[in-house]
Structures are given as C-alpha cells and as structure tokens.
Amino acid sequence: MSHPDQILGSLRLSIVQTIAKGGMGQVYRAIQHGVEGFGKTVALKTILEPYAADEEFVRMFIAEAKLVADLVHQNIVQVYHLGRAEGILYMVMEYVDGVNLRQILDRHAAQGRRLPVELAAFFASRVCRGLEHAHAQTDAEGIPLGIVHRDVSPRNLLTTRFGEVKICDFGVAKARSLAMTDDDRRVLGKYAYLSPEQARREPTDNRSDLFSLGLVLFEMLAGHRPFAAEVRSREAW
C-alpha cells in the first residue's frame, strides 16, 4: 500500500505521499477520485502489515473508526470511511493541511520564544469545543456514550494553514459502548500528559481529558512540561 499510483478498490484512492509513520501504522496523503476528473484530498491511515494480525490493535483501529464516525465537528478530524484492501484495514479521514502543536512548540523553543498568551488561550479554547462535543455524545436513547479521548497531547492537536484547530487520533479513546474489557488495566496515552487516574490505571471520564489539556496549556504558556516524564505511549502513528 505504499506505491504512489496505487488505486484502492471501489473508492478509487491514489496515494500521493507519506505524512507520518510510526511503529505500527502509517498515514498518507491521498486523492479520492470521482467522475469527470473529480478529486478530493484525504488522509489515509493504515495498519502496517506485520501488525494486521494483532487482534487487539485491529480492534482498537476499528473502534476508533466507529467512535469518530458520528463526531461531526469543526474541531475534530473527520472519519469518512473504513475499508480493507489486500487484507489491510485502512481509514479514510479528513486531510489537515497544517502542523501539529508539537511542531509549533518545538519551533518556538528553537527560537528561544514562547507562544503568545492569546494564541495559547485560543488553541486551548478550540480544543475544549471539540472535547465538549465528543463528551456530550449520546446513543439513540439519549444515554451518554462516555467518550474519553485519553491521549490529549500536542501531537494530536492540529492546526490548519487557516488557523482552524482540530483534535485527531482517537486511537486510544474509550466509550462505554466500545470499551475493551481490559482497557483500565493498561496505561494508554503519553506518559507526560496522563491524568492521575490514567497513571493509576483506574477508570476515566471526561475530566481526564480536561486534566491532560491543562498540562498542554501549561506547556504552551510556560514553555516546558510541568512534570518530568518520557513522552512514551502505545500510539502507533
């Protein structure tokens, strides 16, 4: 699935370039083709072939697609389609033409500068809007889904060239209806941004995301993280 001219099934997706590659997965910029020369730029997220047989990872990948499918909000990266090609699962997502917050923070640090307070506050406020939308989701009977992102961190907060802020990667998110039975016995997310309950492997709710966002806001304002920790995680991307 790495050839730039490859067309994937009936969706007619051609891969343009690799955006990111992690230990278990890869993200591409791709074009989704239609009739009469129609083309739409999208992001294509895949599982690397060696991990396609990992049932737990595949289950998390599928759960992410199902979880975010109905999260239609300007501050959340959209998921358009979940498919399979050559035995490999892939997810077609909104393409964000921009950078993540980690890149912004690193660029400012390299120049010996901090983010302007106004920019940090704006960024955090838009993330709050996206999280509020996710946290408020209910099922058809009005019962809260209990969606918790659980990996609110600079790499998962994107901004477009036009200043739109978007939350991405719900890969370790948890919802009441999609939770795996052993989720709360594992540490998921990046250590430097974990809430206390995540670090203790206890059940999480929306307050966990707000705690993590508070740590991100602290870093934006102070120029460093409040706690010393390696930024490690189970993330694949």
Decide: 15 and 89 in contact? Cβ < 8 Å: no
- Cα separation, 233 vs 62, in Å, equals 19
Mind giving me the DSSP string for 52-101? TT-HHHHHHHHHHHHHHTT---TTB--EEEEEEETTEEEEEEE---EEEH
Decide: 94 and 80 in contact? Cβ < 8 Å: yes
Sheet holding 157-160, edge to edge: 98-100, 157-160, 165-167
Does the annotation mark 97 as catalytic? no
- The active-site residue, picked from 70, 151, 184, 209, is 151
Element (H, E) at 174: none
- Cα separation, 177 vs 199, in Å, equals 23
Residues involved in catalysis: 151
